[in-house]
Amino acid sequence: MIAPDFPNFGHSASPDRSTFDYTFANFADLMDGLIGQLGVDRCALYCFDYGAPTAYRLALKGPERVSALIVQNGNAYEEGLSEFWDPIKAYWAEKTDEHRQAIAFILKPETVKLQYTQGVHDLTRLDPDMWTHDDTQLSRPGNADIQLDLFYDYGSNVTLYPEFQAFFRDHQPPTLVIWGQNDSIFPPDGAHPYRRDLPSAEFHLLDTGHFVLEDKLDIAAPMIHDFLDRSIGRS
C-alpha cells in the first residue's frame, strides 16, 4: 500500500505559497511522479475527500493503470455538492477577500471536530486525537491561507467532473462505493450517481458520517479486503 500525504498535510513538506501553487493539478502531478519513481504500472485507487479528484485526475493521465476504485465519500458529481458548499461556490464565482474570509470558519477547531462527529451515533468510538492532530496542523503559520487556496481550487475539479464520469463509463474499473450516509460535506446524493456510470459497482451506505474508517472500520475493512481480493485477482 502506498499512502502519501499531499504537500502541507501530515508530515510532508509545506512549501511557501509563493514558491508552490497549492492546486489539485499539482497534487496529481506529484502523485503521478511518485508512482512512476516507484515503478508502479497498475494500482487500485482509494478515493476519499480531496483524494478523490486527485485520484481521478491521476486516472485520466493513465486509465490503463487503474485496476480498481474504492470510493469513500469522494465526490465526482454536482449532485453531491451540498449546501455546505454554497459559500465556497460563491468564492469560486467571485474571488474576493470577502468570500474568502466567509469560508474561514471551516478551519475553526469546533468545525474540524464537527466533521468527525457529525452523523456518528456513538462518539466513544472516535479517538479525540484525530481532530486534535488536525487542529495542531492547521494552526501552523501560513496553513490557513493554504487551505483557503485549496478550497478555491476545488472548483477546478468540478469543471472536470464530466471527464471523470466519462472515465467511469468508458473503462468500467471494478468499483466499491462505501459511503457514510450521514455526511453533510459529501452526502449520499453524490454516491448514488456512481451507479449510473458504473452499473456493476458494489454499493454500500453505512450509518455514519464523513470519516467512515474512524467509526466503522470493523465493517468497512472486511468489505474492502474482500473487494480487492476479488477484483484485483481478475484484473
Q: CA angle, corner 53, sides to 143 and 163, nearest 5?
A: 145
49: amino acid identity, one letter: D
Section 28-51 average pLDDT: 97
**Domain boundaries defined on the chain:** 24-233
Q: Strand pairing partners for 195?
A: none
Confidence (pTM)? 0.95
Contact 180, 74 (CB under 8 A): no
Predicted confidence (pLDDT) per residue in 169-186, tens digit: 999 999 999 999 999 999
The Cα 136–Cα 133 span in angstroms is 5
Section 122-147 average pLDDT: 95
The mean of the pLDDT values for the chain is 96
CATH no. of 24-233: 3.40.50.1820
Residue 234 has pLDDT above 60, yes or no: no
Question: Which active-site residues does the annotation give?
Answer: 210
Beta strands in 86-213 (DSSP E): 175-180, 202-206
Residue 233 has pLDDT above 90, yes or no: no
The Cα 121–Cα 207 span in angstroms is 8
Residue 235 has pLDDT above 60, yes or no: no
Predicted confidence (pLDDT) per residue in 146-170, tens digit: 999 999 999 999 999 999 999 999 9
What pLDDT was estimated at residue 232?
87
